[in-house]
Amino acid sequence: SGLITLDPGFKNTGSTKSAITFLDGEKGILRYRGYNIEDLAAKSNFLEVSYLLIYGELPTQEQYDQFKQEITYHTLVHEDIKKMLDGFPSVAHPMGVLSSLICSLTAFYPTSLDPNRTEEEIKMSIVRLMAKMPTFAAWAYKNKMGHPVNYPDNKLDYCSNFLHMMFALPSEQYEVDPVIAKALDQLLILHADHEQNCSTSTVRIVGSSQASIYASISAGINALWGPLHGGANQSVIEMLEAIKADGGDTKRYLDKAKDKNDPFRLMGFGHRVYKNFDPRAKIIKKAADDVLNKLGVNDPVLDIAKELEEAALNDQYFVDRKLYPNVDFYSGIIYRALGIPTDMFTVMFALGRLPGWIAQWKEMRENNEPIGRPRQVYTGANERSYTSMNDR
Ligand code: CMC
């Protein structure tokens, strides 16, 4: 079988060639299709960035209008999906609900299962995913709250419609705060793609077996859920709250993070690829300040975060290991200010990452990539004979 190179965690293994996202971890550069993340975050919007990631170029006005119109038109979901939602207990984590509802689209659109799916079918799957994911995400929250769901309002833009489905109450007039909608849009842009991370590799590898795009994206959502990946944004806030409740002694927690006998890690710190700084974290830190100022929110957890960052950046342990705040260190603070509850944070990440997953799935397919199938080095027992139950 030839010589097998072991690389646990694929720290140094390229799984594909890709033309979507460029990342230089040493210099802290992130570009989607050649455009710097700083530029896109300041000047573009999430739907335009989604189009760019999926189709490779910034859309013309006409292409943008059509993309937006189609996505807006498909925001409604089959009523039977609501029955599935009703079956989940209210303690269900919204990430599990989201991945289940996304996977259920295979049942409602079975043509997506055909390996010889047409280009039109693929285009429609992309539209449906982009359109229905905010509906599912908001409904997962409503299920948790035990509240009736809100149906999409197609007069609203992508982020405002999501906020409406999350927060509008039947008895009150709900006006989306443009500051909140804009902040959300920017956060989604920053999360939209990040080359071959755990969830994206999952989407590509599931897709490489020619499974449905809905099943592939659902698998990506599950991969994102873990606390070392997208789930970190929830863990960061839980950690900051715990430090605050514990008297705000950041130094003690820093020591815990450095102690190799203590499983505690400083959540929101460190990154597999960024070894200088995470450019998304820079933008988010500033956005957190701006948003909290504009909304007039004073969050003591932000002070703890800043103190912790400052202490870690000046600590030899973190300096030696090139550990810097990552995208998730400050994102939760903004989500909190926008009124989004902690266990919805990773769902917000998934909403943002969706166009990246779609683009990567599409690229994998267009490149005719072979099925993903890593090898192993076997370390188990040598050949031995079966013993019957009585002889064991
Ligand atoms: N706190 C304390 N020590 C850490 C941390 C941390 N957050 N992160 C890494 N280290 C140490 C680690 O113990 C190891 O030390 P040593 O060399 O002495 O054994 C060294 O730094 C290298 O860490 P690693 O675990 O080998 O690095 P990795 O590339 O496998 O892991 C990581 C990257 C992001 C999983 C890790 O840094 C981590 O667990 N961070 C906290 C969780 C987190 O914030 N995740 C979000 C990542 S960004 C969003 C996303 O893309 O999902």
Does residue 257 lie in a domain region? yes
Nearest residue (CA) to ligand 1, atom 10: 270
The reply to whether 321 and 203 lie within a common domain is no
In terms of residue numbers, what domain contains 173? Answer: 21-229+356-366
C-alpha 72 – ligand 1 centre gap (Å): 39
Q: Residue 276 belongs to a domain with what CATH number?
A: 1.10.230.10
Minimum CA distance residue for ligand 1 atom 37: 270
Shared-domain flag, residues 156 and 46: yes
Q: Could you identify the atom of ligand 1 that is nearest to the CA of residue 269?
A: 7
Q: In what order do the strands lie in the sheet with 21-24?
A: 21-24, 29-32, 35-36
Same domain for 243 and 214: no
State yes or no: pLDDT of 138 exceeds 70.
yes
What's the mean per-residue pLDDT of the chain? 94
Q: Compute the Cα dihedral for 35, 37, 39, 41 and give only its sign.
A: positive
Please give the distance, rounded to the nearest whole angstrom, from the Cα atom of residue 271 to the centre of ligand 1.
6
Distance (Å, rounded) from C-alpha 118 to C-alpha 120?
A: 5
Strand partners, 35: 32
Helix (H, G, I), strand (E, B) or coil at 24: strand
Residue-wise pLDDT for 12-23, tens only, equals 999 999 999 999
pLDDT digits (tens, 9 = 90+) for 106-135: 999 999 999 888 999 999 999 999 999 999
pLDDT over threshold 80, residue 1: no
For range 126-146, the mean pLDDT: 97
Both 48 and 191 in a single domain?
yes
User: Is residue 313 very low, low, confident or very high in pLDDT (cuts 50, 70, 90)?
Assistant: very high
**Which residues make Cβ contacts (< 8 Å) with residue 361, sequence separation at least 6?**
203, 204, 207, 213, 216, 217
Share of the chain above pLDDT 90, in %: 84
Reported as a pLDDT band with limits 50, 70 and 90, residue 54 is very high
Instruction: Report the C-alpha gap between 284 and 291 in whole angstroms.
Output: 10
Provide the pLDDT confidence category of residue 289 given band limits of 50, 70 and 90: confident
Q: Whose CA is nearest to atom 50 of ligand 1?
A: 229
- Look at the alpha carbons of 41, 46, 50, 51 in this order and tell me if their dihedral is positive or negative: negative
* CA 11 to ligand 1: nearest atom: 29
ipTM confidence score: 0.96
Same domain membership, residue 225 and residue 247: no
Q: Are residues 240 and 225 in the same domain?
A: no
| Residue 91, pLDDT above cutoff 90 | yes
* Predicted confidence (pLDDT) at residue 259 exceeds the cutoff of 90: yes
371-384 average pLDDT score: 96
Claim to verify: residue 86 and residue 177 sit in the same structural domain: yes
Mean pLDDT computed over 166-195: 91
Q: Which residues are catalytic?
A: 271, 328
CATH classification at residue 39: 1.10.580.10
Residue 378 falls inside a structural domain: no
Nearest to 221 by CA among 343, 346, 131: 346
User: Quick one: 39 and 177 in the same domain?
Assistant: yes
As to burial, measured by CB atoms within 10 angstroms (0-12 exposed, 13-18 middle, 19+ buried), residue 41 is: buried
**Closest CA to ligand 1's atom 34:** 271
- Same domain flag for 191 and 324: no
Residue 240 lies in a domain: yes
Q: Which residue has the higher pLDDT, 362 or 296?
A: 362
Polymer length in residues for the chain: 392
Is residue 77 situated within a structural domain? yes
Same domain? For 322 and 283 the reply is yes
Q: Which ligand 1 atom sits nearest the alpha carbon of residue 278? A: 48
What is the pLDDT at residue 286? 87
Atom of ligand 1 nearest to the CA of 230: 52
* Ligand 1 site residues, Cβ closer than 6 angstroms: 9, 194, 197, 228-230, 232, 257, 265-272, 321, 323, 326-328
In a shared domain, residues 184 and 85: yes
Global pTM value: 0.93
**pLDDT score for 224:** 97
Structural domains in the chain (count): 2
For residues 127 and 180, membership in a common domain is answered with: yes
348 assigned to some structural domain: no
Query: Which residue, 293, 277, 383, 389, is CA-closest to 334?
Result: 293
